Amino acid sequence: MTYWFYYATKWLLWIIFHAGFGLSVRGQEHVPKQGPFILASNHVSFLDPPVLGAACPRRLSFMAREDLFGVGLLAAFMRGVHVISLKRGESDIAAIREAVSRLHRGDVVAIFPEGTRQLSGKLSAANRGVGLLAMTARVPIVPVLLRGTFEAMPPTTNRFHRAKIRVAFGPAIPYTTETSPATDLSTRQIPGQVEGVSPKRHSQERLAALVTERWRQLESTSA
Give per-residue pLDDT as tens, 35-82. Answer: 999 999 999 998 999 999 999 999 999 987 777 766 666 777 777 788
Cα separation values, 192 from 9, 128, 202, Å: 45, 16, 10
Residue 102: CA atoms inside 13 Å, Cβ hemisphere, count? 21
Mean pLDDT of the 7-36 span: 96
- State whether residue 105 is helix, strand or coil: coil
Domain boundaries, the chain: 4-176+193-221
> When comparing pLDDT for 90 and 144, which is higher?
144
Radius of gyration for the alpha carbons in the chain, expressed in angstroms and rounded: 17
> When comparing pLDDT for 213 and 116, which is higher?
213
pLDDT at 192 over 50: no
Residue 31: how many CB atoms within 10 A of its CB? 18
What pLDDT was estimated at residue 91?
66
pLDDT at 114 over 60: yes
Closest C-alpha to 65, from 104, 109, 111, 103: 111
What pLDDT was estimated at residue 71?
66
**Is-contact 166 91, C-beta < 8 A?**
no
pLDDT at 182 over 60: no
What pLDDT was estimated at residue 190?
39
What pLDDT was estimated at residue 88?
65
Summarised one tens digit per residue, pLDDT across range 137-181 is 999 999 999 999 999 999 888 789 999 999 999 999 999 855 333
What pLDDT was estimated at residue 78?
78
CB-based contacts of 54, cutoff 8 Å, min separation 6: 10, 13, 14, 17, 23
What pLDDT was estimated at residue 146?
98
4-176+193-221: CATH topology? Glycerol-3-phosphate (1)-acyltransferase (3.40.1130)
Mean pLDDT of the 198-203 span: 90
Express as a percent the part of the chain with pLDDT over 90: 65
Torsion of CA 137, 142, 147, 148, to 10 degrees: -60
pLDDT at 93 over 70: yes
Tell me the C-alpha distance between 209 and 23, whole Å. 28
Residue 161: how many CB atoms within 10 A of its CB? 11
Q: Can you give the pTM of this predicted structure?
A: 0.86
What pLDDT was estimated at residue 135?
96
* Sign for the pseudo-dihedral over CA of 37, 58, 91, 115: positive
The mean of the pLDDT values for the chain is: 86
Tell me the C-alpha distance between 93 and 95, whole Å. 6
